[in-house]
Every structure is written in C-alpha cells, then in structure tokens.
Amino acid sequence: MLAKTNCEHTTTKRFKVKLRPYLHHFDKCDKAVCVHHGRSSEKVRLGDLVTIPDSDLHHVMDCEAALAISHAIEDIAGEVRSGELIATFQDFKNFLPYKKRYMSLAEDLDAVRVWGCGTVPKNCGKIDFVQTEEDRLKRYWLVLFDSEETRAVLLCKQVNRTAFFTDKKFIGFYSFNPYLVQSIRWRFNLLSSGLSRIVSHWEKSFPFPDLKMRDLERYIKQPDVVEVPSSL
C-alpha cells in the first residue's frame, strides 16, 4: 500500500466529522462485516461486526452503512464547493428523495453526474444524468468526489439479489487515496460509451472478494466465528 498523503490525512479527519451525525440514525452496531485485512492498524477479525469499517478495507455493508458513508462524502463536496461529484442510483426513482440535496450541490460544484436506469428526472437544475441499461452496472454503488485538494470514493457491489433496498447487502470499500480516486473516476467515465468490452474491463480493474451469501448470513448470525471461507 502507498503511504498516506497529506491530502488523504486531511480528508480522513474531515470525513469522520461529517460521518458522525449519520451514525446516530443506527439502532445497533451490526452494520458491516469485515472481509479481510488491509493497511489498517486496527485489529479487526473476519466476521467482526462494526458500525463503519476503516477506510481501504473491503467490507460487506448494509444499505444504512453505505448510505451514511455516501452522505458524508456528499457533505465534504458541499463544503469544498468545487470539483466533480459522481453518484450511481440503480434506478432514477431512488434518486428522487435526494433531488434537492443534489441540486444544491450542483449549484456550487463544477459538475454533478448521476447515473441510473429508467426515466430521467426532470427540472433538476445543473445535474448531468447518464442513463444506463447495463445490468452489470446496476449492481454497483459509487459515490466519488474529486477536487484539486480533496478526493473521496465509496465503491460497492451488491452481493444479494433482493429488490428491496433495506435488505440489500454490498461488498466494497471507501478511500481518500487521490491516486485510487482519480483512477476510478477515469475508468468509470469511460463506461458512458456503453461498450460491453469496457464494462468487462472495469470489473476486472476493481475485483471484489468472492463472497457467497450463505457465508455472509453465517457471520451475521454468529459474529464470533472467524473461520475463513474457501471462497475468500
């Protein structure tokens, strides 16, 4: 792993402040499950339940944890008031509750791009919408902010097949590493071409651990179990 940059340290501190208000909405702490170790100095075992995982680690998160991280990144963008914000919504209907929030961000930022499928929302000010019907892209949850001095990204992939938002589980990570953020931004923007070959290249560039739902359910029900599944 690359050593943290000064920009990364600063954004990490800002993120923790922005995240704190959203944690108050959680009823309990079993919101994320550690999948494997990264560069974190904290001792987190496979299967440990945590409120919000450390950055740059792959975790399985429920929708509340992913939403809290997303909002914290959006708040950072709103505070910086310059740069580009990219966000994906599996369906544009999911965007509607956050329409005013994103319209406000678009007034100050250089660009706000929202990806999704279905009917493009109307009367959304300066927001740029990108339609996609690519099934593989619908599985991803991405919120990325890139500015001159501050960069942050949440990248997750849905691991179960439920259509109910509150039941969805995602495997992924968040990071403030400027090199990683810019790499994801560059590669993701290429997806607007719609070429299947580019979508395949995108998935190979950021592979996630192969986690089966039966393993995930076992860890959620028995958090003290630390046996590593063969699929990881």
- Among 90-94, 97-101, 185-189, 206-210, the minimum mean pLDDT is found in 206-210
Mean pLDDT of 191-218: 69
Alpha carbon distance 80, 17 (integer Å): 14
The H-or-E segment that residue 185 falls in is helix 178-190
What integer pLDDT is reported at residue 22 of this predicted model?
A: 85
Give the distance, in angstroms, between the CA of residue 121 and the centroid of all CA atoms in the same chain: 22
Q: What is the pLDDT of residues 54-96, one digit of tens each?
A: 677 777 788 888 899 999 999 999 999 999 999 999 899 999 9
Residue 182 has pLDDT above 70, yes or no: yes
Neighbouring C-beta atoms of residue 91, cutoff 10 Å = 14
Measured between alpha carbons, how far is residue 81 from residues 121, 123, 148, 157, 172 in Å?
23, 22, 11, 28, 27
Are the C-beta atoms of 211 and 55 separated by less than 8 Å? no
Closest Cα partner for 132 from 155, 148, 116?
A: 116
Looking at the domain covering 6-221, what would its CATH class be?
Answer: alpha beta
Residue 176 has pLDDT above 60, yes or no: yes
Are the C-beta atoms of 175 and 55 separated by less than 8 Å? yes
Alpha carbon distance 146, 186 (integer Å): 11
Query: Which of 23-27, 129-133, 143-147 has the highest average model confidence (pLDDT)?
Result: 143-147
Strands 151-158 and 140-146: antiparallel
What integer pLDDT is reported at residue 89 of this predicted model?
A: 92
What integer pLDDT is reported at residue 3 of this predicted model?
A: 65
